[in-house]
Each structure stands twice: as structure tokens, then as C-alpha cells.
Chains A and B, each alone.
Chain A
Amino acid sequence: MSTIAPAQPLGSTSIPQTHEVLSPETTGPLTAPEFSGSTPTDALSELLLLVERQNQSSLELNLSEIKAAHERMGDLQRQLKGELERALAAARHAQHKKRGWFSRTFGKVIDAVAKVVAKQAELTKDVAMLQVDLAVSLVKHFRDRDALVQSLKHDLLELGESSETERAVEGFTAGTAKFLGDVAAFQFVLVAALAENAAEGDALHDAFREALKDQAQKLWHSAETNILENPDFWTVTGRVAQGVAVASAIASGGTLAPVAVGILLALEADKRYGYIEDACGKKAAPWVRVGLHVAATACSGSGSNEALKWTQVALSTIQGTGAVHQGVKTWQEGKRQGEELDRRADVQETLYQIQETQRLMDALIELYESKSEHRTRTTEAAAALVETQGQTQAALVLQG
């Protein structure tokens, strides 16, 4: 005989404590129906309760975690913005950079030099004027060279007319001319500043100091553009250096005059028969001629050895300066690449943190939704249970 479990009062209707619903002969498969949804014996309620217990945190705690993650996300986004701005600024700086390390240093050095110059004005003025005079004298000396120099110029012109070397010589000539023009402008400003200083007293005039500083920076830019970073300049200089090296090797024997005569004869023979082009090839022939002319120029005359020596000194200095410049550029490029990669690493790290925070936020939101949904489902299930229970009790009342 089965009995109905005690039920909750429903309104004013009283449910009997026990109620016979089945005859004794119907025992077997039927089990006692559960009318109380809140009792542990209700399987569905028990399951709902167990699942509910899986939610460790309350909805309020969940919300606070979402809020904290959102704030963290905001911080990371601001951090990423800052890193991107820095990367952009570095890229712009690299793109618009016109002055290198030497140039920046040069501008600062000018100030210090100007102060020193202010104290030793007369002496420095004399030295500067002497340098200017020496430069002018050197130019005049080379312009007054003999026919070999004219022949050298002629060969250089030939080089300029050659389609293969025209661009290199044009670049060499244009770059050198521009640089010499800037040197002249710098010297003019320097002399003017020194003259002003000599007239005014012991301090350089501010305007001239600034003009001198600007002019020095322009001079360095000109050297960078027209000389140091001008590939044509280094092409021509390298060829000339090879010719001078050959001449130096020949001249090291000490008998310069026979060597010069031999070179002149070789050049004359080449003019008549063109054997250099046959021996060295069409492309290399103009350069070999230039080298031979330089060697002949160096070997001829009373001061030939001196000319060769100073040419070698000048070439060594130019090539050394170029190597130093390239070394500084390489150093800076390595540093720039390293810094760029560091910035990429910073950005990547921040992006990973943002992704991690985003996953955390997604998980928290999913958990919040799950909890909300579960609570809703539990409420609905409880309502359904109560409704079913009420209907069953109503049926019992009608039966009773």
C-alpha cells in the first residue's frame, strides 16, 4: 500500500497526512509520487541543487571580476597606445632623420669651440686665414700644372663622355663641387665671425655664433650628402687610389724620372695604338689612363714625390673618414634594428596580455551568463514543480 508523502498546505484546503490511492493488489512497479519539490527526495530538485552548488562565486563577485578585468583591459589598451605612438615616432624620426650622431655632436661642439675661439681670437683668426690661404694656394698650384694636368683633365672629360662612367664622374663632380661651395660658405661665415670678434672684443657675437653653428651643420650635411654618402665619389676615388697605389709601387724604387718617362711613353703609345683598351678592356681602360696620368703627374717635376705623398695622405684620410662614417652608420643601424625589435617585443607582449585579459573577460561573462541562465532555469523548474504539485494536490482534494 502506497501512501502520499506529507504535502504543504495549499490555501485553505487541508491535505490529509496519509491517503490511500492504490489498492493492495497494485503494488509493484509504481513508486510513491513526490509532491514536495523542495525535499531532497525529488530527483530533479536535487540535481538542480547540486549543479547550483557548482557555482562557487556569487553573481556580484562575478561582476566585480568582470569590472576588474575591464579596467585591466583599459590599462593595457592605453599601454599599447603609448607603445604604438613611440614606435610611430621612432619610425618618423628614422624617416625624417637628416642629421646623424656626428652632426648632432658637431652642433654641440661648435658652441664649445666658439667659446675657446672667443678667448684666443687673434690666434685662431690667423690660423684660419692661413688655412684659407693654403687652400687657395693649393688650388692655384694645381691649376698651374703643366700639360700633364691638362691631359688628365682631357681624360677626365673623356670619362665624362663615356656612357658607362658618365654617371659616376658626373656624380663625383657635382658632389665635390657642391661640397666645395659649402666649404667656401662656411669659411666665409667663419672669417666674418672672427673679424667681428676681433672688432668687438673677447666674445663672439651671438648672431654670428648662431650663423656659424648653422653653417657648420649645413657643411656637415653637405659632406654627408655630397661626399660620404655619394657612391659616385667613392667610385672615382677608389679608381684614382688604385692608380696612385700603382704609381707608389713604381716610385718606391727611387728612380722617379725614368719611371715618369716610361709612363709618358706608355700613355703616348696608348694614344697612338690604344693598347690599354685591348689589354684591360673597354670598361677599365679610361680608369687605367687616369691612374697613369696621376702617376705620371706625381713622378714628374721636382716636387713629384711630395705630390704623390700628399695625394696618398689625402686618399688615406678620405677613405679612413669614409670608413669611420660607414662604421658609425652601421653602429646606428644595428642599434636602430635592436630598438625596433625591442619595441615590437613590447607591443607583442602587450597584445598577448590584452588577449589573455580578453579571454578572461570572455570566460567571466560566460560564467555570469551561465549562472544567470541556471538561476532562471532553476526558478522555472521550481515554478513548474510547484505547479505540478498544486495540480496533484488539487486532484487529491477532488478525490478526497
Chain B
Amino acid sequence: MRIPAEHNVTPPTLDCYAKARDAFLGDTASELAALLIDHVRESRQSYLEQTRAEEHQLRLVQAAQVEDMRTQADKLRDAGISKGAGMIASGLLTVGSGVSIASTGTADNPYSKYFDGSAKGAEGGGQLMAAHFDHDAGIAGADATEHEHLGSEAERRLETLDEARSYLKELQRTAFEHLQNIQETQAGTDRTLTSWRG
């Protein structure tokens, strides 16, 4: 569009156009938009590093939780074996007591008492060992729960980082749109200036 040399309406001065363009070019908003894009780039890099670190942490605590569960399983198994073995030994010794009564002909014999005492000792020993293993199993279960909670924390941090990355993406898009508008405005202004000066 060409602006006629002779115009009925007093045309705006060049200074007005310059001021209008300066409102977009070299202004604070454009500089801020450029800085935002740079900030987005650096922040995204930082968030990616944090995400990698959180993923690593999550993998570690989840692996630790699974390992704790396996340890708890082993301890539970050991506890059952200890208690069961104690009861089996106790039962066999009780049967032995009966056999000693049958063989000696009287219940008041030293073998029977030895077998009875050993039976109680075997059962008590088995329960003692089982209590020890149950204690270890409980500790392993508590560790597993702790690691599960740590994993949940890491997952929440990952979600926060995802949201931050989405926000950065939106911020970058807005800054680009702003700069694109500035570019188009600048071009339009230049065209107008060229036409007006011409």
C-alpha cells in the first residue's frame, strides 16, 4: 500500500512510527521473551537431569523393596522350618519316651524323663529360632515398607517434574508466538515506513 505524497489528513510523523515500533522491538517484553526461551532451554535441561536422577533413585528404592521382600520371604521360610523342625523333633522324642516306657516296663525310668525333657527343649529351641527369624522377617518387612514409601516420594517428584516440563513447553510456545508477532509487526512497520518515505 502506497501512502500518497499529498494527503488530506496530516500524516503521523516518523517519530511516531519509530516509537510504535520501539514498543515491540527492543522492548522489555521481547527481551523477556528471548530470555524466557533461553531459560526454558536451560530449565528443560535441568529438569531432564533431575528426572534422570529421580528415575535412578526410583529404580534403586524399588529394587531395594523387592530385595527386602525376598529377604522377608526367606526369613519367614526359615522361621517355619525352625518351628516345624522343633515340633517334629519334640514329637519324635515324645514317641521315644513312649518307647522307653514300653521297653523298660515303667514310666519312672531315666530314659523317659530324658526324652520328655529333650522334647520340651527341642520345641522350645525351635520356637526360639523361629522368634529370631520372625524378628528378622519383621525388620525386612519394615524396610520394604520404607522403601515403598521412598519410591512413592520419588514418583511424586517425577510427576512434579513432568508438570514443570509441560509448563515450560507452554511458556516456550507463548514466547515464540510473541516473537513471531513482533517479527510480523516489525515487518509491517518497515513496509509502512518504506511506503511512507517513498
Binding site for B on A (CB under 8 A): 21-23, 26, 28-31, 33, 43-44, 47-48, 50-51, 54, 248, 252, 305, 308-310, 312-317, 319-335, 337-342, 344-345, 348-349, 352, 356, 359, 370, 377, 381, 384-385, 388-389, 391-392, 395-396, 398-399
Among B73, B85, B106, contact of A338 (Cβ-Cβ < 8 Å):
B73
| Among A316, A333, A391, contact of B101 (Cβ-Cβ < 8 Å) | A316
Which chain B residues numbered 139 to 198 have a C-beta less than 8 Å away from chain A?
158, 169, 172-173, 176, 179-180, 183-184, 186-188, 190-191, 193-195, 197-198
Instruction: Indicate if the CB atoms of A341 and B73 lie closer than 8 Å.
Output: yes
- A377–B176 contact, CB under 8 A? yes
- Shortest beta-carbon distance from A361 to chain B in Å: 13
- Contact between chains at B81 and A21 (CB < 8 Å): no
Point out the residues of chain A lying under 8 angstroms from B34, CB to CB. 43, 47
CA distance A161 to B69 in the complex (A): 52
Of all A-B residue pairs in the complex, the 6 with the closest CB atoms, nearest first, are A334-B80, A316-B98, A331-B84, A327-B87, A323-B91, A338-B77
With a cutoff of 8 Å between Cβ atoms, the chain B residues found around residue A325 in the complex are 91
Mark interface residues in B78-110 (1 if CB within 8 Å of A CB, else 0). Answer: 111101111111111111111101100111100
Mark out the residues of chain B between 29 and 85 whose CB falls within 8 Å of any chain A CB in the assembled complex. 34, 37, 41, 44, 55, 58-59, 62-63, 65-66, 69-70, 72-74, 76-81, 83-85
Considering only CB atoms, which chain A residue lies closest to B198 in the complex? A399
Q: List 15 A-B contacts (CB under 8 A).
A: A29-B18, A43-B179, A44-B180, A47-B176, A51-B37, A54-B44, A310-B102, A320-B92, A321-B95, A323-B119, A349-B63, A352-B66, A359-B55, A370-B169, A384-B180
Check B91–A342 contact: CB distance below 8 A: no
Question: How far apart sit A105 and B2, CA to CA, in the bound complex (Å)?
Answer: 106
Known contacts A23-B197, A331-B88, A348 near B66 by CB under 8 Å: yes
Complex contacts, B123 vs chain A, CB 8 Å: 323
The answer to whether A348 and B102 have CB atoms under 8 Å apart is no
Given A313-B98, A323-B91, A327-B86, are A44 and B77 neighbors across the interface (CB < 8 Å)?
Answer: no
Tell me the bound Cα distance from A47 to B173 in angstroms: 12
Point out the residue from A48, A316, A352 that lies within 8 Å of B95, measured CB to CB.
Answer: A316
A384 CB contacts on chain B under 8 angstroms: 180, 183-184
Asked whether, in the complex, the Cβ of B99 is within 8 Å of the Cβ of A313, the reply is: yes
Contacts of A389 on B, CB cut-off 8 Å? 187
Minimal Cβ-Cβ distance residue in A for B103:
A313
- Residues of chain B within 8 A (CB-CB) of A392 are 187, 190-191, 194
Per a CB cutoff under 8 Å, which of B76, B83, B94, B183 touches A316? B94
Binding site for A on B (CB under 8 A): 1-2, 14, 18, 21-22, 25, 34, 37, 41, 44, 55, 58-59, 62-63, 65-66, 69-70, 72-74, 76-81, 83-99, 101-102, 105-108, 119, 123, 158, 169, 172-173, 176, 179-180, 183-184, 186-188, 190-191, 193-195, 197-198
Query: What is the CB-to-nearest-CB distance from A317 to chain B, in angstroms, rounded to a whole number?
Result: 5
Instruction: Tell me whether B194 and A314 are in contact (CB under 8 A).
Output: no
Residues of A within 8 A of B173 (CB): 377
Do A33 and B187 contact each other (CB < 8 Å), given the known contacts A21-B194, A43-B34, A345-B73? yes
Q: Is the CB of A334 within 8 A of B81?
A: yes
Are B190 and A337 in contact, with the CB atoms below 8 A?
no
B80-A323 in contact (CB<8A): no
* Residue ID in chain B nearest A25 by CB atoms: B14
Is B191 in contact with A324, judged by CB distance below 8 angstroms? no
B124 to chain A minimum Cβ distance, whole angstroms, is 13
Using A334-B80, A348-B69, A399-B2 as known contacts, say yes or no to A324 and B18 having CB atoms under 8 A apart.
no
